Structure 1
């Protein structure tokens, strides 16, 4: 299976050569039904697909799906075999960072405690064979309410977590893994282009200084207009972000692509990836509600 960073490099070349415009779909595997349906669609359409699992969904404690990272990967492989899927299916971590697992907040873990938990989960993801790790230290529960986290802090913690992953990957004798980094819209992402540019170039410098240049992320999360309350994607902003990261070998990944009104604008503007999760959960809920109503009428 071609590593994701090589897939991204090919997408960039195709776009530059005027030979194609592609955006990778990342499905959030929030249930067995969603996971199986996504694999079936990938098989039927001969398309690669990403499966972006949060630590709330899949983790060492089973998450709310009941899957550990290893179990999740086995489930993915089982469905791939069942549907004779021959296209690449990439298990991925979504939002790997301090306090982004709800339990870390409810249990009031300190920074040291939540970072230790996240690092252990990152190791479990590597052991399970994840292809992409989203490093996301954009939340700080120790700050006063309303105070945004500083870019320098995000950079420092991003490099710390990537360094942990690279050390563990080498210890385990694993092939290189791909990374995703960047801002998280709900928790105060870097909304303007100057801040985004500062984050990207600051990360490049920090990784090089730590000898981690080869771990440069192939996907960078950008604020492109969408969130759970706004289904309108902004292709103008997306194009500007693309122009910042493409020369560095990366593409922009959009979160909250659920119910988006203009999906065709994603590949047209150079978006590399798009996450969809709550929309699938809603559809599954509505289907179950309908079946329950039918059963009640029988």
Structure 2
């Protein structure tokens, strides 16, 4: 039986909503292989579909620089998830999604100030690899532009670039006789502000009109800024119920679902309300990486205590190695606020408090580093001496974190409802 595509999923969710069943889909950033395992185990137990949302920095073609997560390109990403699903006997619905695809979406492309024609060509090559490796959803996001930093790109430019990329991908998809896919579009980078209902509707109306004229599919999701913004290990934005409801209702008028980005670290009372506000889907990524890193560090605390007690003959150097590599990655600049973004790696490493904070928020960027993997192996071996399954502890901490969203989003049993 052919897998239900995301267009069909959203249409069925709109139908279910009319019967009183409301839910919000969860987009999970693939921060590690452990996160994939934990996600699929929980989805099997609770019968809900998963969206795995991979940015170009996380997963991309080797010729374009590859990805920092497990060194995955699109083929490795697709094959490893399929293998994990087989190993945990998951037979439900999961979807491979490109998050923030498009020109200048790789950090190095933006910092190099590539010309628009070059950036667009690289984006197209990345999308082709997505197509060939059975991605189900492509986020068409031409809103990062090194030549207009500090201000929003003109809406007309965003629309024309979006149409150009969708038209190209659809041409390539049909030429290769590949199944239909879904598209996600967005008008600007999520920055903690709000999208006005008026500009949101103008964007959807104009975009869908021009897509239909060209015989192109309308998007499955459109990103709307609800006020969320992730910094450090908290959401420093101000979520707006009023704006979220207006955006969701506006999107629904055009048969499109509202997609919220930067949903990490929101409190339960906020995410509990998402289904009733008709927010169709929300993305969470760094929070799960933070949870995994914190689990490793908790095991390190135990390891150090039992080493001092004489129960262990040696101990790993995981915390120091992970802290060093997290600082060297430079990716903490994305999450720190204020003047701290201008600090040097040496500044980070010399300040114990800051070094620990950077390790916690950026540890997930280091999981693929050979030194970090070696120290995790030593840590797990020491846990084994103590009769503890270290990897199972880490997996369960991640599962508990995901389960908070499953409960609040009313996701349990959704797959069966969609397929019946």
Q: What TM-score bracket applies, with the shorter chain setting the length? A: over 0.9
Highest CA radius of gyration, 1 or 2? 2
The reply to whether residue 9 of structure 1 matches residue 17 of structure 2 is: no
Q: Which residue of 2 aligns with 1:171?
A: 175
The reply to whether residue 123 of structure 1 matches residue 101 of structure 2 is: no
Give 3-state SS (helix, strand or coil) of 1:52's partner. Answer: strand
Q: Which residue of 1 aligns with 2:244?
A: 238
C-alpha contact 2:221 2:258 (8 A) present in aligned 1: yes
Q: Which residue of 1 aligns with 2:97?
A: 92
Q: Give the Cα–Cα distance (whole angstroms) in 2 for the partners of residues 163 and 63 of structure 1.
A: 26
Q: Give the Cα–Cα distance (whole angstroms) in 2 for the partners of residues 199 and 240 of structure 1.
A: 14
Q: Give the Cα–Cα distance (whole angstroms) in 1 for the partners of residues 29 and 94 of structure 2.
A: 13
How do 1:177-216 residues align onto structure 2 when only pairs under 5 Å count?
177-186=181-190, 191-212=195-216, 215-216=217-218
Q: Give the Cα–Cα distance (whole angstroms) in 1 for the partners of residues 194 and 143 of structure 2.
A: 10
Q: Which residue of 2 aligns with 1:57?
A: 58
Deviations 1:3-60 (A, max 9, x none): 0010000111111x23310111110001111121111111111111100000000000
Aligned residues: 294
How do 1:31-42 residues align onto structure 2 when only pairs under 5 Å count?
31-42=32-43
Deviations 1:51-110 (A, max 9, x none): 000000000022101111111111111111111112101010000121111121233211
User: How much does 1:154 deviate?
Assistant: 0.3
Q: Give the Cα–Cα distance (whole angstroms) in 1 for the partners of residues 228 and 243 of structure 2.
A: 11
Q: Which residue of 2 aligns with 1:283?
A: 291
C-alpha contact 1:46 1:85 (8 A) present in aligned 2: no
User: How much does 1:232 deviate?
Assistant: 5.0
C-alpha contact 1:182 1:222 (8 A) present in aligned 2: yes
CA RMSD, 1 decimal:
1.6
Inter-CA distance 150–174: structure 2 relative to 1 (3 Å threshold): same
Q: Give the Cα–Cα distance (whole angstroms) in 1 for the partners of residues 165 and 293 of structure 2.
A: 36
Higher helix share: 2
Q: Which residue of 2 aligns with 1:82?
A: 87
The reply to whether residue 248 of structure 1 matches residue 250 of structure 2 is: no
Q: Give the Cα–Cα distance (whole angstroms) in 2 for the partners of residues 290 and 107 of structure 1.
A: 39
Give 3-state SS (helix, strand or coil) of 2:96's partner. Answer: strand
Give 3-state SS (helix, strand or coil) of 1:285's partner. Answer: helix
Q: Give the Cα–Cα distance (whole angstroms) in 1 for the partners of residues 293 and 115 of structure 2.
A: 35
User: How much does 1:237 deviate?
Assistant: 1.5
Q: Give the Cα–Cα distance (whole angstroms) in 1 for the partners of residues 166 and 193 of structure 2.
A: 20
